Structure 1
Amino acid sequence: MKRQKLGNTELYTPPIVFGGNVFGWTIDEKESFRMMDHLLDMGFDLIDSADVYSRWAKGNSGGESESIIGKYMKSRGNRHKLTITTKVGSSMQQGGDKDISKTHILNAVEDSLRRLQSDHIDLYFTHWDDNKTPVEESLGAYQKLIEQGKVRYIGASNLSPDRLQESLDGSKKEDLPKYQVFQPEYSLMQRNKFEGKIQKICQENDLGVTSYFSLASGFLSGKYQSIEDIKGSDREQFLKDYFDDRGKKILNALKDISDHHNISQAGIALRWIIQRPGITAPIASATKPEHLKSFEEAVNMELTKEEMENLNAASNH
């Protein structure tokens, strides 16, 4: 399996990153362990998490994903076999304020390390911007963590083009750690949050890019054909706006290509991202080991120029 370097780091990613947001949310601890065993067996050894995952599940308070990953690594004794990314900046309380102050980062990392039962985080992301903390303050906190060996590299997610550029300029000017990876929302359903200014900044600064919501919360898998299919489900809040003419056009284009290759629509949707300029690896989740077949499909095929153009045309705004 071909691996890609993440920015200017010593970290390498398989063609698809596994999204650990499902751990403790849509799959329990036992199934999460089973999923991670399968992932490692298949060679997918990079897992993406965040301190707030899976806060939104009933009865949860945040940190469940990290805790499950930590218990798994301890029980298997395989921390060295996994690359773990997690994030800081979101509030553990629903509707709480974002916070990337030095104080919050230095406190939050200790909680994440405790839950992960690890002495280090491979790649630590600014999850969301609070739009008030000076970029040099956040980067200074990360510098301290890197010097202490608690964090190897840093990345950013969901920053505006202006704040991302300001952060990159600040790291250079003040000799502070540089964001090496950017994590935007990106899929056939959502292209505007990456393409354009952010994409240009990432390419000009050699940033790795790992996109999230790569399957648009499962919409692109073709599993849901109408809004009635998601009524009352965990996915409703994410998918309710997708069942319009554009969404149907994208699903039809995916179906035509998936039928031609006799593989899943999810596999085609992931492959489209893999072949897009500026992308290092998409992030995708699964709730059953058999769903990982789409990962293998995406890795082992290539879309033709015509197929890419058809998907681009269907998904244009």
Structure 2
Amino acid sequence: MQYRRLGRSGLQVSELSLGSWITYHNQVDTRAATEMLAQAFDAGVNFFDNAEVYANGQSELVMGEAFKALKWPRLNYIVSTKFFWGLASEGNRVNRKDTLNRKYLMQAIDGSLARLQLDFIDLVYCHRPDPHTPIEETVRAMSDMISQGKALYWGTSEWSAADIRAAWEIAERHHLHKPVMEQPQYNLLHRRRVEVEYARLYEDLGLGLTTWSPLASGLLTGKYKSGQAPAGSRGAMENMAFLREGLLDPARNAAVAQLEGIAAELGGNVAQLAIAWANRNPHVSTVILGASKAAQLSDNLGALALTPKLTPELLERMDAITQGLAR
């Protein structure tokens, strides 16, 4: 495992990390989460990603119990969470959901700290942009979390380059803590934002990336090539039905079949190839993995062996296969 600085900060994160979206509480209980966290940690992973909204707060509870059981020194691991959607599912949602206003954010951090059973959270993200709250209000609230010792770094997730730059410039102008990182989707089939839209931000602002969905929600594992969603897969989950059309797309699955040939040449599988492809981008600080089973996590970590094998010629072949399919 190699470690990379998070953008221009001094924090070093493992090149592969472990996230909890969809899996924790829904597919992974506390015992299994504890085992996989330990497995990842033993492999050199030091960053573990979460969000307030994952499983409506239950994901943070599961991860918090796992950390408690593992008893790792706090300096040895990095934890994140994200705020925007809130936990309000019924009743009055005003100032509690789909917002980045100060009232919500200053209470959301306390809720996450309690669920994770931590004194502070290393990385906190604005999970989506909020067009109804002035960016300056959000920047001040996020900066205050850091000043109060409740978080160490803050950033954004799926924000436009223009909004990230605006937030950074507000913080610069008012001597506030600046956004350090962005968490975008990035994979062979979803790459324009990372490779084009954010291109100026890496040098101008020192932006770091903690990317998610390297396997395109499972499409890049090859499990959907039959045109059916296997039982137990994300495509078969009713609450993930919005993903199904993309996962079963014939053209994309045909491309996956071609990528399998390249993976075989390198002595790996297509999932490992896809993770290695994202990992080889020098602007990516860490690639977040998701796993519901220990065997799956072990397999995904095998991408480390493929990363140095991705020559310019192989990358060109992969680009040719996915041409016209990537967004």
TM over 0.5: yes
Q: State yes or no: 1:65 paired with 2:59.
A: yes
Q: What is the CA–CA distance in structure 2 between the aligned matches of 1:176 and 1:315, rounded to whole Å?
A: 42
Q: Is the 8 A contact 1:258 1:268 kept in 2?
A: yes
Gaps in structure 2 of 5+ consecutive residues: none
Q: Is the 8 A contact 2:228 2:248 kept in 1?
A: no
1:34 aligns to what? 35
Q: Between the two proteins, what is the percent identity of the paired residues? A: 26
TM-score by length of 1: 0.91
Which amino acid in the other structure matches residue 237 of structure 2? S
Q: What is the CA–CA distance in structure 1 between the aligned matches of 2:145 and 2:313, rounded to whole Å?
A: 47
Q: State yes or no: 1:255 paired with 2:256.
A: no
- Following superposition, the deviation at residue 103 of structure 1 comes to 0.9
CA 1:310 to 1:93, structure 2 compared with 1: closer, same or farther past 3 Å? farther
Which amino acid in the other structure matches residue 197 of structure 1? E
Matching of residues 59-98 of structure 1 within 5 Å: 62-78=56-72, 80=74, 81-93=76-88, 97-98=97-98
- Following superposition, the deviation at residue 79 of structure 1 comes to 5.2
Q: What is the CA–CA distance in structure 2 between the aligned matches of 1:66 and 1:150, rounded to whole Å?
A: 16
- Following superposition, the deviation at residue 100 of structure 1 comes to 0.6
Q: What is the CA–CA distance in structure 2 between the aligned matches of 1:138 and 1:89, rounded to whole Å?
A: 11
2:190 aligns to what? 190
Q: What is the CA–CA distance in structure 2 between the aligned matches of 1:198 and 1:241, rounded to whole Å?
A: 25
Q: What is the CA–CA distance in structure 2 between the aligned matches of 1:66 and 1:39, rounded to whole Å?
A: 18
Q: State yes or no: 1:209 paired with 2:209.
A: yes
Q: What is the CA–CA distance in structure 1 between the aligned matches of 2:322 and 2:202, rounded to whole Å?
A: 22
2:120 aligns to what? 120
Q: Is the 8 A contact 1:73 1:79 kept in 2?
A: no
Per-residue Cα deviation, 1:256-295 (whole angstroms, up to 9, x for no partner): 1111122121110000011124222211101111112333
Q: What is the CA–CA distance in structure 2 between the aligned matches of 1:143 and 1:233, rounded to whole Å?
A: 38
- Following superposition, the deviation at residue 34 of structure 1 comes to 1.3
2:300 aligns to what? 295
What SS class does the counterpart of residue 184 from structure 1 fall into? Answer: coil
Corresponding residue pairs, total: 310
Question: Where does structure 1 differ by over 4 angstroms across 4 or more consecutive aligned residues?
Answer: 93-97
Q: What is the CA–CA distance in structure 2 between the aligned matches of 1:279 and 1:44, rounded to whole Å?
A: 15
Gaps in structure 1 of 5+ consecutive residues: 55-61
What SS class does the counterpart of residue 32 from structure 1 fall into? Answer: helix
- Following superposition, the deviation at residue 142 of structure 1 comes to 1.8
CA 1:40 to 1:51, structure 2 compared with 1: closer, same or farther past 3 Å? same
Matching of residues 1-317 of structure 1 within 5 Å: 1-21=1-21, 22-54=23-55, 62-78=56-72, 80=74, 81-93=76-88, 97-230=97-230, 232-234=236-238, 235-301=240-306, 302=308, 303-317=310-324
CA 1:242 to 1:73, structure 2 compared with 1: closer, same or farther past 3 Å? closer
- Following superposition, the deviation at residue 309 of structure 1 comes to 0.9
Per-residue Cα deviation, 1:168-191 (whole angstroms, up to 9, x for no partner): 111111111111111111111212
- Following superposition, the deviation at residue 153 of structure 1 comes to 0.6
Q: What is the CA–CA distance in structure 2 between the aligned matches of 1:181 and 1:122, rounded to whole Å?
A: 12
- Following superposition, the deviation at residue 245 of structure 1 comes to 4.7
Which amino acid in the other structure matches residue 308 of structure 1? L
What SS class does the counterpart of residue 176 from structure 2 fall into? Answer: coil
Which amino acid in the other structure matches residue 266 of structure 1? A
CA 1:299 to 1:119, structure 2 compared with 1: closer, same or farther past 3 Å? same
TM-score by length of 2: 0.89
Per-residue Cα deviation, 1:31-63 (whole angstroms, up to 9, x for no partner): 111111111111112101000012xxxxxxx11
